[in-house]
Amino acid sequence: MRLSVEHLSVRFGRIVALRDVSLGVAPGERLGLVGPNGAGKTTLLDAIGGLARPTRGEIRFGPWRLSDLPPDAVARAGVGRTFQVPRLCTRLTVAANVRAGRALDPEPWLERVGLAARRHDLAGALTAAEARRLELARALAAEPRLLALDEPFGGLTPAETDAMAALVARVATPDRVTLVVEHKLGAVTRLCDRVIVLSQGEAIFDGPSAALRGDARVREAYLGRSRAG
Partner 1 sequence: MGRISFGQQGFFVIGAYAAGMATALGGAPLAAGVLVGGLAAALAGAGFALVMGPRRGIAFAAGTLAFGELARVALLAFRFQVLVGADLVGPAGPDGFRGIRLLFTSGLPLGAYAVAIWVALAAIMAALTWLLRARPGEALVIVGQDEGLAAAAGIRVARVRVLALAAAGGLAGLGGGLLAHYATYVEPGHADVMLGVHSLAYGLIGGLGTPIGPALGVALDIGLLESFRVLRGYRMIIFGGLVVVFLAMRPRGLLDEATVHRLARRLRRRVA
Segment near partner 1 (CB under 8 A); pick from 53-61, 82-90, 161-169, 215-223: 82-90
Helix then strand then coil, % of the chain, to nearest 5:
35, 25, 35
CB atoms within 10 A of CB 170: 9
| Binders of partner 1 in range 157-216 (CB under 8 A) | none
Strands 56-61 and 79-81, how do they pair?
unpaired
* Cα–Cα separations (whole angstroms), residue 26 to 34, 194, 203: 18, 11, 18
The least CB distance from residue 123 to partner 1, in Å, is: 10
Residue of 7, 65, 91, 219 that binds partner 1 (CB under 8 A): 91
Mark residues 51-70: x for contact with partner 1 by CB under 8 A, - for none: x------------------x
Positions 114 through 133 that interact with partner 1 (CB under 8 A): 120, 122, 124
Q: Tell me how far apart the alpha carbons of residues 69 and 83 are, in angstroms, rounded to a whole number.
A: 19
Residues lying near partner 1 in the complex (CB under 8 A) are found at 49-51, 70-72, 75-76, 80-81, 83, 87-93, 96, 99-103, 120, 122, 124, 138, 142
